[in-house]
Structure 1
């Protein structure tokens, strides 16, 4: 079943929502980072975590998200889009060894 997680806030001033759809083997991250420009955004995807970095003026805001349950890792299939201040990442998940 598709189980959304609540938006998370903190020192990263942009709302982020993550969802893991285990039956579809898919993880989705949506971040509202308006008014950030595309060049001010950095995304790194590791085996089991995603790191976002947003440059805004003289500051850089970073957020690392490790949302996957035990034994799940990100696969090779991934898509990303940035449109009108909204970043959407869709990543394949699979059972793997960390």
Structure 2
């Protein structure tokens, strides 16, 4: 199970790992925030979703396994208050700290 942390208010968040296609999804219900209030940053070990405005919330999600990192294929889309972030997962063969 992936590690998830959040600060401040909590937003409904779902993570989905699709190992057969090497993809990890982070889905966040950001309402009532607007797209202008939302920012996403993806590193090799963390997906960070920050929602500003009146919500003031940060979510950080790590890969589903300590032997995985996030790859270079990344995309995000926002529709009707729901942010979806899709990132490639890459198996490293060894646990990373």
Regarding TM over 0.5, the answer is yes
Question: CA shift at 1:56, angstroms?
Answer: 2.2
**1:80 and 2:72 aligned:** no
Tell me how large the CA RMSD over aligned residues is: 2.4
The aligned residue for residue 48 of structure 1 is: 45
Which structure has more relative contact order (CA 8 Å, sep 6+)? It is 2
CA distance in 2, matches of 1:60, 1:9: 11
State the aligned residue count: 92
Whether the 8 Å contact between 2:71 and 2:89 is mirrored in structure 1 is yes
Whether the 8 Å contact between 1:48 and 1:68 is mirrored in structure 2 is no
Is the partner of 2:56 in helix, strand or coil? Answer: strand
Query: Normalising by the residue count of structure 2, what TM-score does the alignment of the two structures yield?
Result: 0.80
Give every structure 1 segment of 4 or more consecutive aligned residues whose post-TM-superposition deviation is greater than 6 Å. Answer: none
Structure 2: runs of 5+ lacking an equivalent: none
Whether the 8 Å contact between 2:9 and 2:56 is mirrored in structure 1 is no
Is the partner of 1:56 in helix, strand or coil? Answer: coil
